[in-house]
Amino acid sequence: MTDTAEVKTSNMQTNSALPPEETERLGGEIVAALKTVFDPEIPADIYELGLIYKVDIKDDRTVDVEMTLTTPNCPAAGELPQMVENAVASVPGVGMVNVNLVWDPAWTPDDRRGAPRPQYVVTREFTGNDRH
C-alpha cells in the first residue's frame, strides 16, 4: 500500500499505514520543498512549472517522485533530478527518495500552475540595406 499525492490535482489518498495527519504534513512539506527548486532557464519553481507529475509516499516513508523537464535537451537534465531528490530528502520524516524522469506525457506551457510566463522578445537591427 502507498499513499499517493497526485501533485497536479493535490489529491491525497489516505489508504496507508501512516496516519492521515502525518500524510498531510509530509505532503505539504514535500510540496514546499519542491517549490524551492528553480529551473535555471525559467524564473519559476519546478512545482509551479508543472514539472512534478506524481509524489508517492509509501508506508515506510520512501518517497517516489515522477517528474519531467521542459524539453529532453534541457541543459539542467543532469542537475534538476538531484536537486529534487535533495529537496524532498530534507523534509523531516522522509525516508529514501527516488526521482524518476519521465517524458510521457510531454511537458507543455499549459502545465504551468500560475507561474509567470517568460517574456520573449525578438529584436532585429535594421540597416539601410534591408528591403521588405
- pLDDT digit string (tens) for 22-71? 988 999 999 999 999 998 888 889 999 899 999 999 989 999 999 999 88
Q: Is the separation of the CB atoms in 43 and 116 below 8 Å?
A: yes
Residues 6+ apart with CB under 8 A from 77: 69, 101
CA angle, 21 then 28 then 45, to 5°: 175
pLDDT, average across residues 113-127: 40
pTM: 0.74
Q: Judge whether residue 110 has pLDDT over 80.
A: no
Residue 17's pLDDT is 82
Residue 86's pLDDT is 98
- pLDDT digit string (tens) for 69-106? 988 888 888 899 999 999 999 999 999 999 999 998 88
| Domains of the chain, CATH where assigned | 2-111 (3.30.300.130)
